[in-house]
């Protein structure tokens, strides 16, 4: 069969990277202007692939709004191809739902122009998520193109030789649930057709090499040539270059193609013996140096901010807005989409990976804060609406009662710490002025309070008079209303707060009627509840006992410090170095909290470590010495890392919460926390995108890198046939299971480096991450058959409970304890509750196990339910208020609810 060379023009647009955003932005304007002028000429330049991300259009129209219709016309004509994503994200550093919102918003943006490129486009993701084929298939996409994860690319993206997972650039990619798409690997990178010569002699040399390299991997006569690269200008003379190629090789069809045409041609000729590659694509069959996994620990503060905002949107703003919608509030879809877009502008891989110049990441901090403020606004509006409809009449017998409502935005019954400041009384400025307000509230006779639930049961709590403070209201129909209020702060552990639900409490007048509390401290420096015992040793480490199985593990919470002479992409320990640890280092240990619901032990370390790398490193960086060849060591000079660790146990927790804080005064180093598991297994598990990924602890035979770090979201877990340890986290995306005979889970808290790395010399002094930092973790021991329950505990650790004061004590529509939607499906994990653009509620779960799960969800009377997909389309007829199904192994399952409101 005659060969066809499909030349697809594109530019891979890193929105910000080795230059600040606006530098790249201005280049985008020039590229797009040139593209439009080239298409206008009608000289045979057929089409352009706009890198799979609609954000490029937003950025362009911000400066060139007058060209919107010109662009729209070429999209409608199929000459500019857009979508299916909003941005080209790093898949492993953005949450499951963030990946879905990215796809949803990309589709919405593209649909406005009438055409969507239905191609799963992952040109430069630093590894690919295992559930991508299932997500794509649910979105009506059956093809994917990717540049990494299966075959290794090395320095400057050079292809290596060796045996790989697939002998072809074409392969079948399969998710854990069995969904398959046709995958195309950019075997010769996405620049193998870049800058095609028009000169015959130059073109001959170019095509001799390019034809041979493409034929080396292609399973069909259709050869792919990507005419572009990072921030590549338009090749305006491409039609002339194609004509030259045709003259040189009359037996080959050279066409200015697009992915639609190319994929259809490949599908019609692909052989039957394609390799099926399964799950995550993480470049495991390589030497291990260029997986770029250590971007998960570059500028950890960015990952922590990202986790906070993602969780606030997914488990706060969206589900609370749905609950408020049930009480009559209009769902603020426009605000939430704005928040998501603002957040996702931090999700391109060179942004969220922390592997750009310092100016880029300063801008990201502002975006994170902006998205957070929008989410907080929606949360507060929703809480106010919900509280106005909660029946707190059970507390009306007490004239001093101060009721409030705890709200759970997750799909699992929740427990956890809650702190809320309650207005006991207030005095407006309008009634005598500010001074009068302050004086009245200072003189207010505050009664003694105790905390009760709706049944009148006293709840252990810490109740504190926090004095008089200024505040204000912003009414919808009047000017701002300033006042001073007298506040009472209450802290307690809420328990059994319903999934998608609310639970009312109140402060009532009177002294506590409870007898002296039962402490969560047992013995010297030991925390203990019904599930776990944790004894703090003299070196600050924990000895953890699982009280359900009896297993004891020693040495949890030890800190490890190593030098790092790598870069933002890649960790590299100096040759011959032995890491330092706090094992055996005497610490100051003190009990700092002892209440009936919570106890905390504080540990303080003075950990002496080398101050920086020696001067050799700076010289090697300037001389562009590849990191593997560097001879730098750590300097002799030392600094002290003052580390404060707080171990906290709540009465209903299945594990110990850990808060670590420190002032990072060292440079060129990595700090990790170690959690031995003492399990007998060669595999472990990590929270990933809609799956708990099973991974081999021992790398492949060709692996050379001494380090084997991996990505995680909410947790990493190791268990054998008897016991296990799950370590949860908030925004700590890098872990490693050490091959130390104990299967120790090492979680990276900070990594300090001084250069971007990659293709040049780009100093990044702010990547040293100097100053104050903190980290939150939770270590959860469990039986092997309780793994899913431990995973849910880890997910719940990330999600806060919300609380809001009820300003009126009267009967209302919602009972004091209420669940807006109920469901049953033991083994499923809830992912999101939101409203779709058509007004229906959407709830998503996933099955992390290999077993099917019988599932039932019940909505309010009058509502109808149906099966949906990741694009929130209707996939079955809406039935009555009860929906039942069997959720298959590893399936992502979405249910739509047609509401009567």
Catalytic residues: 124
Q: Residue 100 and residue 96: Cα distance in Å, rounded? A: 7
**Do 260 and 116 meet the contact criterion of CB atoms below 8 Å apart?**
no
Q: Angle CA(324)–CA(714)–CA(668) in degrees, nearest 5?
A: 125
Residues ≥6 apart with Cβ < 8 Å to 438: 468, 484
Residue 47: Cβ within 10 Å count? 20
Nearest Cα residue to 555 out of 593, 513, 585: 585
**Do 501 and 817 meet the contact criterion of CB atoms below 8 Å apart?**
yes
Query: Reduced to 3 states, what is the DSSP secondary structure of residue 859?
Result: coil
Q: Directed axis angle between helix 21-41 and helix 55-63, to 10°? A: 90
The first and second tokens of residue 191, run together, are 């620049």
The first and second tokens of residue 850, run together, are 């290999």
Nearest Cα residue to 368 out of 731, 853, 739: 731
Using the CB atoms, write b or e for 353-380: b if 16+ within 10 Å. Answer: bbbbbbbbbebbeebbebbbebbeebbe
Give phi and psi for 33, each to the nearest 5: -60, -45
Nearest Cα residue to 169 out of 88, 256, 270: 270
Using the CB atoms, write b or e for 471-492: b if 16+ within 10 Å. Answer: eeeeeeeeeeeebbbbbbebbb
The first and second tokens of residue 262, run together, are 């190319």
DSSP string over 585-616: ---EEEEEEE-SSEEEEEEEEEEEEE-SB-HH
**Do 541 and 535 meet the contact criterion of CB atoms below 8 Å apart?**
no
Q: Residue 540 and residue 590: Cα distance in Å, rounded? A: 10
The kind and range of the H/E element at 543 are strand 542-546
Nearest Cα residue to 723 out of 562, 547, 884, 500: 547
**Do 897 and 881 meet the contact criterion of CB atoms below 8 Å apart?**
no
Residues ≥6 apart with Cβ < 8 Å to 512: 450, 458
Bridge partner list, 726: 717, 780
Q: Residue 891 and residue 868: Cα distance in Å, rounded? A: 13
Nearest Cα residue to 405 out of 825, 815, 888, 887: 815
Whole-number Cα distances in Å, 464 to 425, 453, 491: 15, 18, 9
User: Which residue do the tokens 């990594």 mark?
Assistant: 751
């Amino acid at each position: 069969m005659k060969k066809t060379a499909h030349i697809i023009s594109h530019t891979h647009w890193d929105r910000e990277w080795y230059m600040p955003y606006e530098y790249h932005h201005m280049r985008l304007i020039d590229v797009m202007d040139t593209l439009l002028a080239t298409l206008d000429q009608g000289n045979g330049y057929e089409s352009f692939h706009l890198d799979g991300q609609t954000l490029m259009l937003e950025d362009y129209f911000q400066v060139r709004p007058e060209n919107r219709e010109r662009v729209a016309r070429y999209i409608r004509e199929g000459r500019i191809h857009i979508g299916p994503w909003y941005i080209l994200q790093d898949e492993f550093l953005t949450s499951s739902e963030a990946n879905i919102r990215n796809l949803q918003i990309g589709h919405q943006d593209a649909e406005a122009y009438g055409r969507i490129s239905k191609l799963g486009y992952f040109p430069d993701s630093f590894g690919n998520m295992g559930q991508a084929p299932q997500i794509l298939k649910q979105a009506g996409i059956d093809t994917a193109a990717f540049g990494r994860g299966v075959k290794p690319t090395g320095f400057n993206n050079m292809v290596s030789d060796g045996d790989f997972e697939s002998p072809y650039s074409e392969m079948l990619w399969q998710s854990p649930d069995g969904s398959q798409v046709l995958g195309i690997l950019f075997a010769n990178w996405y620049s193998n057709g870049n800058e095609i010569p028009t000169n015959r002699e130059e073109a001959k040399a170019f095509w001799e090499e390019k034809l041979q390299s493409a034929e080396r991997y292609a399973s069909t006569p259709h050869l792919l040539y990507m005419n572009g690269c990072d921030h590549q200008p338009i090749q305006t003379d491409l039609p002339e270059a194609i004509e030259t190629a045709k003259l040189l090789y009359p037996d080959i069809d050279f066409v200015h193609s697009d992915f639609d045409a190319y994929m259809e041609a490949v599908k019609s000729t692909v052989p039957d013996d394609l390799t099926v590659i399964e799950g995550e694509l993480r470049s495991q069959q390589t030497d291990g140096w260029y997986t770029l996994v250590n971007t998960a620990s570059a500028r950890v503060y960015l990952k922590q901010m990202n986790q906070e905002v993602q969780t606030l949107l997914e488990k706060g703003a969206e589900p609370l807005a749905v609950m408020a919608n049930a009480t009559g509030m209009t769902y603020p879809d426009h605000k939430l989409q704005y928040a998501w877009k603002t957040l996702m502008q931090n999700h391109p891989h060179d942004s969220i990976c922390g592997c750009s110049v310092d100016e880029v990441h300063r801008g990201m901090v502002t975006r994170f804060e902006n998205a957070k403020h929008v989410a907080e606004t929606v949360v507060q509006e929703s809480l106010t609406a919900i509280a106005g409809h909660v029946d707190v009449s059970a507390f009306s017998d007490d004239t001093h009662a101060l009721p409030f409502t705890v709200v759970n935005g997750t799909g699992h019954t929740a427990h956890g710490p809650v702190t809320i400041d309650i207005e006991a009384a207030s005095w407006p400025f309008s009634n005598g002025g500010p001074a009068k307000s302050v004086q009245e509230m200072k003189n207010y006779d505050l009664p003694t309070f105790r905390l009760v639930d709706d049944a009148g049961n006293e709840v252990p709590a810490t109740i504190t008079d926090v004095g008089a403070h200024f505040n204000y209201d912003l009414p919808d129909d009047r000017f701002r209303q300033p006042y001073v209020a007298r506040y009472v702060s209450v802290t307690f552990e809420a328990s059994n707060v319903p999934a998608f639900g609310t639970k009312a409490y109140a402060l009532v007048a009177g002294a506590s009627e409870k007898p002296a509390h039962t402490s969560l401290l047992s013995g010297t420096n030991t925390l203990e509840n019904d599930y776990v015992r944790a004894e703090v040793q003299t070196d600050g480490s924990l000895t953890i006992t699982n009280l359900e199985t009896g297993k004891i593990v020693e040495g949890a919470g030890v800190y490890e410090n190593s030098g790092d002479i790598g870069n933002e992409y890649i960790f590299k320990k100096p040759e011959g170095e032995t890491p330092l640890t706090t094992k055996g280092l005497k610490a100051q240990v003190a009990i700092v909290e002892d209440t009936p619901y919570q106890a905390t032990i504080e540990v303080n370390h003075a950990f002496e470590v080398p101050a920086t790398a020696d001067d050799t490193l700076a010289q090697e960086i300037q001389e562009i010495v590849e990191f593997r060849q560097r001879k730098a060591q750590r300097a002799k000079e030392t600094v002290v890392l003052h580390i404060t660790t707080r171990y906290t146990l709540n009465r209903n927790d299945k594990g110990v919460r850990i808060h670590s804080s420190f002032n990072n005064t060292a440079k060129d180093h990595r700090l990790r926390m170690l959690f031995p598991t003492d399990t007998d297994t060669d595999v472990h598990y990590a929270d990933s995108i809609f799956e708990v990924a099973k991974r081999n602890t021992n790398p492949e035979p060709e692996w050379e890198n001494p380090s084997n770090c991996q990505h995680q979201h909410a947790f990493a877990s190791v268990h054998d046939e008897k016991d296990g340890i799950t370590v949860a986290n908030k925004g700590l995306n890098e872990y490693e299971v050490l091959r130390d005979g104990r299967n120790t889970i090492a979680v990276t808290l900070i990594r300090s480096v001084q250069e971007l790395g990659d293709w040049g010399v780009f100093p990044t002094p702010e990547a040293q991450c100097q100053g104050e930092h903190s980290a939150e973790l939770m270590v959860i021991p469990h039986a092997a058959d309780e793994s899913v329950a431990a995973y849910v505990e880890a997910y719940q650790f990330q999600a806060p409970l919300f609380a809001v004061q009820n300003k009126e004590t009267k009967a209302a529509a919602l009972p004091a304890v209420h669940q807006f939607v109920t469901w049953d499906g033991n083994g499923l994990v809830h992912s999101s509750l939101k409203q779709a653009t058509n007004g229906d509620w959407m709830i998503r779960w996933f099955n992390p196990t290999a077993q099917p799960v019988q599932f039932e969800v019940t909505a309010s009377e009058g509502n109808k339910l149906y099966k949906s997909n990741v694009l929130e389309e209707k996939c079955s007829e809406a039935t009555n208020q009860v929906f039942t199904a069997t959720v298959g192994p590893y399936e992502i399952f979405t249910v739509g609810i047609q509401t009567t409101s």
